[in-house]
Structure 1
Amino acid sequence: MEEEVKITVDELKEVNLGINDEPRPTYISAPLTPEEETNASPNGKRKHKKPLKQAQQRFRPKLVPSIEAEVNKLIEVGFIWEVQYPTWLANIVSVRKKNRQIRECVDFRDLNHACPKVDFPLPILELMIDSTTATRI
């Protein structure tokens, strides 16, 4: 074992990611340089997107009973719930599957456009698992 042990946990500093009226405190590493701190902040070099409420969707009258049944089923199991704040509201979209049933999906396109792309995406886990568990012949 090594004689010298370095502490790997940095001291943390509280920063506000929200606005003054609606603070959203979070913690970042204290030893960051001012430039790194600015780049990490959504108010820094990243563009700040205003919350977006999607317009209400209209459905064909024939589909309404099946949509209501599916939505009520999702509400009962706790997968979705009604919200009272329309900030970043995403609509439910009905999609017909190959077997002619209706599938309810959530339209997150506006939210995805507002989120910055990840510089270091996760690797494809299936390939990593297959490569580590491959049997040798």
Structure 2
Amino acid sequence: MKRIMIVMLLFVSMACSAQSQIQLDSLIQTYNTTWHLYKSPSTSLFFSLNTCTGELKQVSLGTTLGSRRGITVINARPLVPAEAQYKGRFALVFHPSSHAFVLFDTEDGRAWEISSRKTFSLDYHYQMSPLSESE
């Protein structure tokens, strides 16, 4: 009986840890394509990301009469040199209830916070800096 309980406890703990690992891995998905289209969860906007260079564009679809549609360039310059570029290096991570998202470099951990509520410019596309250990 003790062996059965130990085996069951071990099985349950493995299942719980596997589930939490799946949730963490699903935050950042890597794609083996150069361009990937992301849907913003809180608006009718899409974002086109070059996963090699970090170049980013906003794609607005006009869903109502008179609404604006088109493509707005957020970042037109590569964030890494040509020799460091590869498919899947950059990814977008959205917060489900926010109008901000993070452009994440999966190679070196750099991150840029971008707000979809503002007009895009360098004021709203800035590199996030790490918090100091004292904070």
What is the TM-score with the length of structure 1 in the denominator? Answer: 0.25
Greater C-alpha radius of gyration? 1
Which of structures 1 and 2 has the larger relative contact order (alpha carbons within 8 angstroms, sep 6+)? Answer: 2
Higher strand share: 2
